[in-house]
């Protein structure tokens, strides 16, 4: 018997060419499954000049402008999102929300009235995990409970799901996945060539950060740890920050980058600190780096860490229970440090700078970890199973 083809409306806060962790993972999933699933994308955009409708990777993308700093714009945007869902109601049978927030209320109400099954991907601990949502309560939580299935990206999400008292029969654990053909290890010659191509300082061990300049991502803590080491250690190379320092996204605080710039000038390190606001070729920066650092206070399952590990880069990450320790075996495939602890982070950097054999071995084992457990093909197969299970359970036609 031929299985029906799922028709899925993906709703995400940002989509290519704009970037967010959830949006990037959504795109990778669409690219993997577009021959097995009929996708339509609905996204918000912080760019007023962005096209209302366009096509990415052969899939139609509908965009709704929202100014994150304007409450009225958010309310209007939520209404426009809902209208866009209604206009596309004949093009999908499953509503897949990548994250859950206030703007999801109208969408889930419309889905309930229209009897569309909803899949919610839980993207961020402390934001849309079940315990946090239950604590917020009200209409938001009642709408959240309408999902047919919840997808958690880390074992920590499963713990929080159980703690909230929700039925495990409606939960799936599906970690984010990485494209292993795009994110590849490099050798020393390629690293040096890429550093020249990217106009990065070519001496010493290059340290890389990828992410928003937000308080929770802690790029300033990384700078403090790196600077302590760089001032007296010839083997410490450039500190490269890739990510938005100025953005319409509410998470981004431009004061953080400005403080780093000022501090670097004061210490005479300005020439060794590089800021890259945006790139379409992030894989080049991973392959040019010797060390990747994720100093975050909280994460769902960080794409940047997955990509760095896939690229064979030695990684240091904050120890986040059920998140980063699912990826890194401390002291074997990377190093874990206490969140926010600058001294521990400095020590970890020193270990990798002073012991190149450990750096190389950790990078090799990091790549093996991703190859075994976190490929985008594995992730895509599990999502296809989710869509088919939802269709079978609710008897929804494609």
User: Strands of 236-242's sheet, edge to edge?
Assistant: 273-276, 236-242, 205-210, 291-294, 314-318, 335-337
Produce one character per residue of 68-107: b if its CB has 16 or more CB atoms within 10 Å, e if not: beeeeebeebbebbbebbeeeeeebbbbbbbbbeebbbbb
Residue 373: count other Cβ atoms within 10 Å of its Cβ: 12
Residues 286 and 198: their CA atoms lie apart, in Å, by: 11
**Which uninterrupted H or E stretch holds 173?**
strand 171-173
d(CA 238, CA 375): 30
H helices of the chain, where? Answer: 21-33, 71-87, 104-114, 130-136, 138-144, 155-163, 188-197, 219-230, 254-267, 282-288, 303-310, 324-327, 342-354, 356-373, 376-394
Report the alpha-carbon distance of residue 41 to residue 43 in Å, rounded.
6
Helix (H) or strand (E) holding 240: strand 236-242
Q: Rounded distance, CA 365 to CA 56, Å?
A: 34
Q: Domains (ranges, CATH) in the chain?
A: 7-177+375-394 (3.40.50.2000), 188-373 (3.40.50.2000)
pTM of the model: 0.92
Please give the pLDDT value at position 5.
Answer: 86
> Mean pLDDT for each 10-residue chunk of the chain (398 residues)?
81 87 91 94 89 92 86 84 84 92 88 91 93 95 96 97 96 97 95 96 95 94 97 92 81 91 96 94 97 96 96 98 96 98 98 96 98 97 95 66
């Amino acid at each position: 018997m031929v299985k029906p083809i799922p028709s899925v409306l993906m709703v995400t806060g940002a989509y290519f060419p704009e970037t967010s962790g959830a949006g990037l993972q959504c795109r990778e999933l669409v690219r993997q499954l577009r021959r097995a699933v009929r996708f339509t994308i609905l996204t918000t955009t912080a760019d007023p000049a962005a096209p209302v409708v366009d096509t990415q990777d052969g899939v139609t993308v509908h965009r709704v402008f929202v100014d994150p700093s304007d409450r009225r714009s958010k309310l209007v945007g939520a209404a426009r999102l809902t209208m866009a869902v209604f206009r596309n109601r004949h093009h999908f049978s499953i509503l897949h929300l990548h994250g859950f927030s206030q703007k999801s209320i109208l969408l889930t109400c419309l889905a309930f009235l229209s009897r569309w099954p909803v899949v919610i991907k839980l993207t961020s601990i402390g934001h849309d995990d079940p315990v946090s949502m239950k604590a917020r309560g009200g209409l938001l939580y009642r709408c959240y409970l309408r999902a047919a299935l919840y997808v958690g990206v880390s074992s920590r999400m499963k713990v929080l799901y159980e703690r909230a008292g929700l039925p495990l029969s409606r939960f799936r654990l599906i970690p984010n996945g990485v494209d292993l053909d795009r994110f590849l290890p490099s050798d020393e010659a390629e690293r040096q060539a890429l550093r020249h191509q990217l106009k990065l300082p070519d001496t010493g061990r290059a340290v890389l950060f990828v992410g928003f300049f937000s308080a929770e991502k802690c790029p300033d803590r990384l700078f403090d740890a790196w600077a302590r080491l760089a001032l007296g250690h010839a083997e410490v190379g450039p500190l490269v920050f890739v990510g938005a320092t100025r953005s319409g996204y509410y998470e981004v605080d431009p004061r953080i980058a400005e403080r780093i710039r000022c501090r670097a000038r004061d210490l005479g390190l300005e020439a060794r600190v590089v800021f890259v606001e945006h790139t379409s070729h992030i894989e080049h920066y991973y392959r040019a780096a010797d060390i990747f650092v994720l100093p975050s206070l909280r994460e769902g399952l960080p794409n940047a860490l997955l990509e760095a590990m896939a690229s064979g880069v030695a990684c240091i990450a904050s120890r986040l229970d059920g998140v980063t320790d699912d990826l890194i075996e401390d002291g074997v495939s990377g190093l874990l440090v206490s969140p926010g602890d600058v001294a521990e982070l400095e020590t970890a950097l020193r270990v990798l700078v002073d012991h190149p054999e450990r750096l190389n071995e950790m990078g090799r084992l990091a790549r093996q970890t991703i190859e075994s457990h976190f490929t985008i093909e594995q992730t895509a197969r599990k999502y296809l199973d989710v869509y088919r299970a939802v269709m079978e359970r609710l008897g929804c036609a494609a």
